[in-house]
Amino acid sequence: MEQAQPFQRTFPWRAAALAAGVVALAELAVLVALAAGSALHVRTAPLRHARQAGTPVASRHSLQPQGEPLRPRARVSVLVLNGNGVAHAAGAEASRLLARGYRRAAAANAGASYARSLVLFRPGFEREAARLARDAHIPVTAPLDGRLPAADAGYQLVLILGRR
């Protein structure tokens, strides 16, 4: 009867560890790419909704400073629209804006549901919209397309409260 001979060769641990490390780095790269794509999708979802509705959209980061000084909050009026379905959300936000010094802040219902909050502005009020977006922690600003009812025509900025 023949006996099995012991295996004398040592296992290449360094090569195995290196291969496992390369596989782990590749998996990490794929996960980072997926996370970045997912974050971009989440951030741009309200933009796609606004574009589908025909509203031109601009990010607050793309706005260039203009030569005119920033208008004080006391000279800017804001219409706050509740687009998230939470009772009294627009009224509470309008009260916060009045406490911050805005001249006029009125609350109303948006008439539609919005996934994300955004600030809309009339021409010439881009920088004030960016400040309001910072004040309200809203990452998206866009030009107002002029479709406000006549009763609301005096507002320079419109803040739409979405679900996020």
In 3D space, the residue among 38, 34, 48, 63 whose CA is nearest the CA of residue 116 turns out to be 48
DSSP 63: P
Span 107-131, average pLDDT: 90
Sheet with 140-143, strands from edge to edge, namely: 58-59, 140-143, 118-121, 157-161, 77-82, 104-109
pLDDT of res. 35: 75
pLDDT single digits (tens) 36-68: 765 544 444 455 555 555 545 554 444 445 567
Distance of CA 93 to the CA centre of its chain: 18
As a whole number of angstroms, the distance between CA 47 and CA 43 comes to 8
Q: Give the model's confidence band at 6: pLDDT under 50 very low, under 70 low, under 90 confident, else very high.
A: low
As a whole number of angstroms, the distance between CA 81 and CA 118 comes to 10
pLDDT of res. 126: 93
pLDDT of res. 49: 52
Between the two ends of the chain, the Cα-to-Cα distance in Å is 77
Contact 81, 161 (CB under 8 A): yes
Q: Which region among 48-52, 76-80, 126-130, 156-160 has the lowest average model confidence (pLDDT)?
A: 48-52
Question: Which domains does the chain carry?
Answer: 58-63+72-161 (3.30.70.2390)
Q: Give the model's confidence band at 130: pLDDT under 50 very low, under 70 low, under 90 confident, else very high.
A: very high
pLDDT of res. 85: 86
Within 10 Å of residue 155's Cβ, how many Cβ atoms?
A: 21
Contact 144, 106 (CB under 8 A): no
